[in-house]
Amino acid sequence: MQLTGKIVVVTGGASGIGRALCETFHRAGAAKVIVADLDLAGAEAVAASVQGAAFKCDVGQEKDIVHVIEETERQFGPIALFCSNAGIVGGFDPMSVNAGGTSDEPFAKSWAIHVMAHIYAARHLIPRMKARGGGYFLNTISAAGLLSQVGSPAYSTTKHAAVGFAENLAISHKAAGIKVSILCPQGVDTNMLRSIARGPQSSDGDLSPEQVAQDALNGIEQETFVILPHPQVLGYMRNKAENYDRWIAGMAKIQAKMREDYGK
């Protein structure tokens, strides 16, 4: 899909990858970029820089997603591309004392933001997109959704679930002209990455959010399902599929090294 003249929504657009997506889509000729974020001041600043519009939105709340969709379409026109990009790091523990954690909180919060948000966007946009013959979802997930995030079971589990939902979304609505891409980088130099301890997500180098946004744009133009800004991830996926036990053993070695480094 070409972005020229299109209406685009980006959740989590106030910062990091979301901000870079807004700027990249604006440069690619989008008619209006809608920046939806919990951080309204940040969203307004990005919206001002791309001549877009801002909405305060908690993506884990269905009513907020409905509000963004209804108001965007009422004020600006049909949404051609909806990017579910907002994300958090919850329950990160480099020592991995217990993958089951100590409370539901990081799992529930990550589930709402990484999974239900994508489901709400589909629930309320699919009928509109079907009626107009198509549309596009770009879901920012992570290489952690294809592989795993050592030290964060809540992140890994919910990002895997997000891949599962995106696959089903793409399969269910391909015949209706609805396209889906998942954006799955490893380390990207953003506030989120800087908020956690340095780990294996950075072992192939951290990319800039601008590079990742350009890869996302290329992927949308080519309509490819999986967008891998770090090409190494494809090799890791192949290794995993080829020999799951060897892959688990390799990841356990990375976990052991992480415990050693943080135990010092």
Ligand X SMILES: NC(=O)c1ccc[n+]([C@@H]2O[C@H](COP(=O)([O-])OP(=O)(O)OC[C@H]3O[C@@H](n4cnc5c(N)ncnc54)[C@H](O)[C@@H]3O)[C@@H](O)[C@H]2O)c1
Where in the sequence numbering do the catalytic residues fall?
Answer: 155
3-state class of 166 per DSSP?
Answer: helix
Listed residue (55, 179, 166, 54) closest to 129, CA to CA: 179
Q: Examine residue 135 and tell whether it contacts ligand X (CB under 6 A).
A: no
Q: Examine residue 50 and tell whether it contacts ligand X (CB under 6 A).
A: no
State how far the Cα of 147 lies from the Cα of 31, in Å rounded to an integer: 36
> Which CB atom, from 24 or from 140, has the smaller least distance to ligand X?
140
State how far the Cα of 177 lies from the Cα of 156, in Å rounded to an integer: 30
Shortest distance, position 41 Cβ to ligand X, whole Å:
10
Q: Examine residue 116 and tell whether it contacts ligand X (CB under 6 A).
A: no
Q: Are 14 and 42 in contact (CB under 8 A)?
A: yes
The DSSP result for 53-105, as a single string, is EEEE--TTSHHHHHHHHHHHHHHT--EEEEEE------S--TT-S-TT-S-SH
Q: Name the one range near ligand X by CB under 6 A: 165-173, 188-196, 218-226, 248-256.
A: 188-196
Q: Name the one range near ligand X by CB under 6 A: 79-87, 92-100, 124-132, 170-178.
A: 79-87
What are the φ/ψ torsions at residue 246 (nearest 5 degrees)? -65, -40
Neighbour tally for 4: CB within 10 Å? 9
Rounded to 5, what percent of the chain is helix, strand, coil?
Answer: 55, 15, 30
Per CB under 6 A, the list member of 31, 170, 192, 251 interacting with ligand X is 192
How many residues bind to ligand X according to rule CB under 6 A? 30
Q: Name the one range near ligand X by CB under 6 A: 7-15, 67-75, 219-227, 237-245.
A: 7-15
Q: Examine residue 251 and tell whether it contacts ligand X (CB under 6 A).
A: no
Q: Examine residue 255 and tell whether it contacts ligand X (CB under 6 A).
A: no
Residue type, 174: K
Q: Name the one range near ligand X by CB under 6 A: 31-39, 75-83, 219-227, 242-250.
A: 31-39
Per CB under 6 A, the list member of 24, 35, 53, 87 interacting with ligand X is 87
Q: Examine residue 15 and tell whether it contacts ligand X (CB under 6 A).
A: yes
Q: Examine residue 88 and tell whether it contacts ligand X (CB under 6 A).
A: yes
Considering only residues 193 to 232 of the shown chain, the ones binding ligand X according to CB under 6 A are: 193, 201
State how far the Cα of 9 lies from the Cα of 251, in Å rounded to an integer: 36
Instruction: By CB under 6 A, name the binding residues for ligand X.
Output: 11-12, 14-18, 37-39, 42, 57-60, 85-88, 113, 140, 142, 185, 187-188, 190-193, 201
